[in-house]
Amino acid sequence: MEKKQLQLKIEQQEERIREIKAKDSESNFLIRDLQRVYKQQEAILEEILYYSKGTEAEYSARRSLQQLDEECREAFRTFEHGKEELSELVNESERARDQAEEDLLWLRKKEQEEKEDKDGKI
């Protein structure tokens, strides 16, 4: 590869890393919002439980609370899986960037050696 191609590849990988990290950061905000919503729903259902002891509404609220808990766990498992994938994408991009940087250094070193050989022959 040429130097310009390697430099372009390095820049592209760095840009990809920034984009993925931004998505990871955005997912943290989404997770916090989701936690807040689940806590609000849970508080409402707990209040319904408190005021409806012994009625059908209590049983319905308990079922809804159980369902909410299951949905919450599933949502956070999904987010965690997504965050792991984002982390792996960052790692892959960093490896590709590092490889391109190594290739660029090797190419520069080779060019320097060729220049020194050429200067030595003169």
Tokens of 114: 């060729």
Q: How far apart are CA 115 and CA 118, in angstroms?
A: 5
How confident is residue 122, by pLDDT bands cut at 50, 70 and 90? low
Average pLDDT, the chain: 91
pLDDT over 90 at 54, yes or no: no
How confident is residue 1, by pLDDT bands cut at 50, 70 and 90? low
pLDDT tens digit string along 80-106?
999 999 999 999 999 999 999 999 999
Nearest C-alpha neighbor of 49 from the set 38, 37, 35, 65 = 65
pLDDT tens digit string along 59-87?
898 999 999 999 999 999 999 999 999 99
Q: How far apart are CA 19 and CA 92, in angstroms?
A: 13
State which amino acid sits at residue 113: E
Whether the Cβ atoms of residue 20 and residue 90 lie closer than 8 Å to each other: yes
